Amino acid sequence: MAKPGPALPRHIGIIMDGNGRWARRRGLRRSAGHKAGIQAIRRVMDAADKAGVHCLTLYAFSTENWSRPRQEVATLMRLFEQTLQAEVDELHRNGVRIKVIGRREQLSTRLQRLVEDAEQRTADNSVGMLNVAINYGGRAEIVDGVRQLASAGADLSQLEEDQLAGALYTAGLPDPDLIIRTAGEMRTSNFLIWQAAYAELYVTETYWPDFGADDLRAALADYAGRDRRFGGVLEPR
């Protein structure tokens, strides 16, 4: 039977794309676009909270993004460090639990320490949940999940979907109901490929640094009008 989704997504994943194009359009370096992108995160988190959406997963750096120029990778890593350091206190005060998802062993020791500190300090918070995907790839995540189950002695010949879902970085969270991608590209770029199996996709031409509260509200309004069928048939509204 058709299962209409609730009008509000319980979990939103955001592919924050277009920082480079935003900067180029202004004659600036790509790093200026990444810096401007941080401001957009603040606005969107605030707007999501006000709208009643309390679980966000932000795609900040993919397992494929290492192929960018060294300088750009270094800038991004420095921004992640600075932002974590600058924002954790306030997020904690607001009751937000922070989690970084991805293969963190490839991150600098300094960033790993900041991540662990942020996660530990906010571990008991329950007002909101912020996942930041850094060195994240959906394929890597599935491989890591299977490896984890195998090393725990699971019989992989009997593997069930729930079991694998429970071994992913997002274990315990609802699947994203809505995936937003800025800057127009119609692809998932390896983001939450398991969890987003039935997510609604919303793509906007707006570059990430320009994305704000109004854009989030537009995405939520669009989502509220979708008919989610989950493979069933459409029931009259």
* Contact set with Mg ion (CB under 5 A): 17
From the CB of 159, what's the least distance to Mg ion, in Å?
Answer: 34
* Tokens encoding 236: 């009259």
CB–CB of 137/59 below 8 Å?
no
| Residue 116 interacts with which of ligand IPE, Mg ion, none, CB < 5 to 8 Å by class | none
Q: Which is nearer to Mg ion, 17 or 200 (CB)?
A: 17
Residue type at 35 in one-letter notation: K
Whether 135 sits among the annotated catalytic residues: the reply is no
Whether 17 sits among the annotated catalytic residues: the reply is yes
**Catalytic residue selected from 46, 65, 94, 117:** 65
Residues binding ligand IPE (CB under 6 A): 15-21, 59-62, 65, 76, 183, 185, 187, 189
From the CB of 87, what's the least distance to ligand IPE, in Å?
Answer: 17
Q: Which is nearer to Mg ion, 98 or 132 (CB)?
A: 132
| Residue 219 interacts with which of Mg ion, ligand IPE, none, CB < 5 to 8 Å by class | none
As annotated, the active-site residues are: 17, 65
